[in-house]
Chain A
Amino acid sequence: MKRGTLKSRFAPLALLAGLLLALPGAPLRAAELDAEQQARYQTLINELRCLVCQNQTIADSNAPLAADLRQQVETQIRAGRSDAEIKRYLTDRYGDFVLYRPPFKAKTWLLWGGPFVVLLIALAVALRFVRARRAAPAATAVDAAALRQVLADEAGDDARRPPENRS
């Protein structure tokens, strides 16, 4: 095998490796935090919503506002604020909407309780259905004579009907 072919065979692989290395692995590490603070930082930025691109967390978003909020979280962690205090700071300004897990309170009871309400309704409907079926009269022993009479009547009906497919 010529060297040239070997090289060209590995070239795509090398390119791929290069591209993978170029991908930002962990671009959102805050520079001056210790390991424990870093973990808190990661948890927080993955739980806070970016208000500009609303279906992304501030960790995912490239919006300038998300960068500002990440910066704010980092600064406050470094200042020794607790997670609850940091969330409080943000909800005071942007409302519960910034939290991907909003707290349970008067305004959000439907959000948290809604699925259970729907489940209860479904259970009630299912229960009604089952009860209705159980209450339906089961097949009972039929008087043989009466049955024969009915069958005979049926046959009589058939006899009176004009024959089909008469050609």
Chain B
Amino acid sequence: MRLRYLVPALVLIGLVVLFAIGLRHDPREVPSPLIGKPAPAFSLAVLGAPQQTYTLADLQGRPVLVNFFASWCAACRVEHPFLMQLAAQGVEIVGVDYKDTDADGADWLARHGNPYRTVIADPQGAMGLDWGVYGAPETFVLDTAGTIVYKQIGPLSEAVWRERVAPLLQGAKP
């Protein structure tokens, strides 16, 4: 007889647990298969200096953030002040002007400030495709060896930085 109440109770608890997990999980955040792998190679021009190319080798040797942004991206405006703050703290951020014209990208940076050590121009989104980017902003955290240790889909924030990124970077420092 007791089983009669136990089984529905267990089913209910099981469903509550499943829903609790499901509702916290954002389906828009597709986990990247690139985490733990070396960053994909690329060779693109630097924004505003078409004769100067920037490649994967230029990203290696120290922990670095690679931030995909664009002048057409509203969420990048939201993220921008925090990137400025990080840059002021000495964090190296390399920007990728993703599917944007050089003029618009440069204008955006001139207007809002430039938190990037270097800005790479990716007008066709070719580097984005290789890196598995499907929107902006997206930020990759690379360790000293050039391995992708974290990917942030959507704006970086103080909370994300403190809880997810900072611990990884501390581990990556030599």
Q: Which A residues are closer than 8 A to B by beta carbons?
A: 51-52, 54, 64-65, 68-69, 72, 91-95, 97
Contact = CB atoms under 8 A, between A and B. Distances in A.
Which applies to chain A's interface (DSSP): helix, strand, loop or mixed?
Answer: helix
Nearest to B99: A64
A92 B33 contact: yes
B33 A93 contact: yes
Given A68-B125, A72-B129, A93-B129, A51 B33 contact: no
Contacts of B28: 54
B27 interface: yes
A97 B30 contact: yes
Contact of A51 (B30, B99, B125): B30
B130 interface: yes
Most buried by A among B28, B99, B125, B132: B132
Contact of B32 (A52, A54, A64, A95): A95
B21 to A, nearest CB: 13
B33 A95 contact: yes
Nearest to A64: B99
B86 interface: no
Interface in B117-139: 125, 129-132, 134-135
14 contacts: A65-B125, A65-B134, A65-B135, A72-B129, A92-B33, A93-B33, A93-B132, A94-B30, A94-B32, A94-B33, A94-B134, A95-B31, A95-B33, A95-B132
Contacts of B34: 93
Contacts of A69: 129
A95 B134 contact: no
A64 B28 CA distance: 17
Contacts of A65: 125, 134-135
Given A68-B125, A94-B30, 10 more contacts: A51-B30, A52-B134, A64-B99, A65-B125, A68-B129, A69-B129, A93-B33, A93-B129, A93-B130, A97-B30
A54 B33 contact: no
Contacts of A93: 33-34, 40, 129-132
Contacts of B134: 51-52, 65, 94
A131 to B, nearest CB: 14
A8 B28 CA distance: 51
A94 B132 contact: yes
B20 to A, nearest CB: 17
Contacts of A91: 33
